[in-house]
Amino acid sequence: MMSAAQSQTTLESKLEALQCHFTWDLDPSRSKLLRLRDKLEDIGTEEGNSWLGHIYNLRGFIQYKLGFKEDAQRLFSKAAEAFRQMRNADEGPWLLVNYGNLAWLHHHLGEQAESQAYLSKVDALINKYPSPSQDELHPEICAEKAWTLTKFSAEQKQLAADYFEKAIRMQPGMVEWNTSHVIGLVGAYRHNNKTPGADILEKMRIAKENDPENLYLAVLYLEQCAKKGDRIEDDARELATKVLRNPVSSYSGTKALLRVYVNYVSMDEAIDLAEEALNNHPDERYLKRCVALCYKWKIYGDSRPKQSMIDRAISLHKEVISLYPHYSLMKTISLANIYAKSNREQAKAEQIFQELLQRDLEPADKQLLYTYYAKHLYFNQKNFQKSIKYNMKAAAIPQQSSFRENSIRALKKVQHKGRNRMCREIEEFLANLQEP
């Protein structure tokens, strides 16, 4: 007979061998989890969304990590139901990750019999639906892991692309996998400030033909066409009518479409389009966020913005901050930068930054704040020496990010010019900088 301790050890070793959210080393900070939860809620839960089961699975894992175990169980159950409806079958390999999550959840709840039952379900699915490639995870697992990684960080997009490629190679007929793979590739290029080559553009064209209802992909393809010099104004306006007709979702292409309008059509038309969308759905927080973003872009790009526009932007940003408290740091920084453009409330910008600097923030958030405050000091306050100090504070935090790179570039620029009395200090600082 196996002792209770041996039985527990065997159970735990089986759980560790599972492929699911609990074993994928997804361990972000609490603030990142809260922001990710908001992002997933903005996707919406419209029927027909091919990623709905995966969305519920990830939302369930996030709720577990945040300490809401009952919510986690409810969301894992909704994931299973969404998969059944989408695949029109009671079971299949698409449930492997879901059953793994439930095995882990019941284990953490102390319900070992239920945990073992889900382990048995996983074994049965693996035996009934083996992976087409003996050396690879099942394509359904690869696809879900890929989609999950794209949500966690820009740095993991390449790993996500690798998993998507494995899934597609083994099971090439899944349209949504190809679409999400291409969207992820384009996102990785944008994150690195690079332009996709002709090969990626061709992949986008093929994915768009195979997934004609995906307006988000259509907008991204239009954006790439505009970048290579095509005239896209008429196509953008035609696409806008379709996007506005669709249910509100961060997957609908609204934000990407507004970016296309701002860069290649008209800034004022972008604002009109965003306001029209919000007028049609006045209670949708995601649209309020999009409208606020448009006004921010307009104000940042205008040397002398109208006060009425600044007032509208301030009002929207305050509302968005209340609707997205876990995104409040970035939105509050944007609010401060808008106040800096105001004719009558410029001092409010410095006041907001000082309040933010008093907050107890995680290192990544401190780094972000220091970089943006350095920009504010340089461009708005013309306090160049203090700006250098805050770029140093941002760069000194040993966490790789675009904000750290931005601050290091700013310091190198000052050093290269060689006219600032802090050049020697900057040189020593950069020489001794700790790598992440």
Residue 208's Cβ-side half-sphere holds a number of Cα atoms within 13 Å equal to: 15
Which pLDDT value is given to residue 6? 57
Cα distance between residue 356 and residue 368, in whole Å:
11
pLDDT > 70? residue 4: no
Which pLDDT value is given to residue 5? 54
Cα distance between residue 194 and residue 188, in whole Å:
9
Contact present, 46 and 38 (Cβ < 8 Å): no
Tens of pLDDT, residue by residue over 254-306, are: 999 999 999 999 999 999 999 999 999 999 999 999 999 999 999 999 888 99
pLDDT > 70? residue 14: yes
CATH classification code of 4-129: 1.25.40.10
CB-CB neighbours of 237 under 10 Å: 13
pLDDT > 90? residue 52: yes
Cα–Cα–Cα angle for 261, 232, 51, rounded to 5 degrees = 70
Which pLDDT value is given to residue 47? 65
Q: What is the largest CA-CA distance in the chain?
A: 81
pLDDT bin (cut points 50, 70, 90) of residue 190 is confident
Contact present, 340 and 296 (Cβ < 8 Å): no
Cα distance between residue 184 and residue 186, in whole Å:
5
Of 246, 235, 190, give the one whose Cα is nearest residue 48. 246
Of the listed ranges 33-47, 196-210, 307-321, 366-380, the one predicted with least confidence: 33-47
Q: What is the mean pLDDT of residues 193-214?
A: 92
Q: Is 303 helix (H, G, I), strand (E, B) or coil?
A: coil
Cα–Cα–Cα angle for 249, 251, 252, rounded to 5 degrees = 70
Which pLDDT value is given to residue 1? 45
* CB within 8 Å of 337: residues ≥ 6 apart: 296, 300, 349, 372, 376, 380
pLDDT bin (cut points 50, 70, 90) of residue 45 is confident
pLDDT > 50? residue 314: yes
Q: What is the mean pLDDT of residues 166-182?
A: 96
CB-CB neighbours of 434 under 10 Å: 8
Of 250, 421, 397, give the one whose Cα is nearest residue 327. 250
- In order, the DSSP letters of 316-372 are HHHHHHHH-GGGHHHHHHHHHHHHTT-SS-THHHHHHHHHHHTS---HHHHHHHHHH
Contact present, 295 and 258 (Cβ < 8 Å): no
Contact present, 29 and 362 (Cβ < 8 Å): yes
Which residue's entry shows tokens 């290192």? 363
Tens of pLDDT, residue by residue over 393-433, are: 999 999 888 899 999 999 999 999 988 899 999 999 999 99
pLDDT > 70? residue 356: yes
Which tokens sit at 167?
Answer: 């899934």
pLDDT > 90? residue 435: no
Contact present, 201 and 229 (Cβ < 8 Å): no
Cα distance between residue 70 and residue 109, in whole Å:
10
Q: Is 82 helix (H, G, I), strand (E, B) or coil?
A: helix
Contact present, 53 and 297 (Cβ < 8 Å): no
Of the listed ranges 108-122, 145-159, 208-222, 306-320, the one predicted with least confidence: 145-159
Of 406, 400, 398, 358, give the one whose Cα is nearest residue 378. 406
Contact present, 136 and 170 (Cβ < 8 Å): yes
Cα distance between residue 218 and residue 327, in whole Å:
28
Task: Please give the mean pLDDT across all residues of the chain.
Answer: 93
Which pLDDT value is given to residue 134? 86
Give the range with max mean pLDDT: 45-54, 150-159, 262-271.
262-271
Cα distance between residue 60 and residue 38, in whole Å:
13
Distances (CA, A) of 171 to 48, 92, 135, 137: 21, 14, 15, 12
Which residue's entry shows tokens 């954006």? 223
Cα distance between residue 296 and residue 302, in whole Å:
10
Q: What is the mean pLDDT of residues 87-94?
A: 95
Model-level pTM? 0.91
Which tokens sit at 103?
Answer: 């095995």
pLDDT bin (cut points 50, 70, 90) of residue 157 is confident
Cα distance between residue 49 and residue 409, in whole Å:
42
Which regions of the chain carry the CATH code 1.25.40.10? 4-129
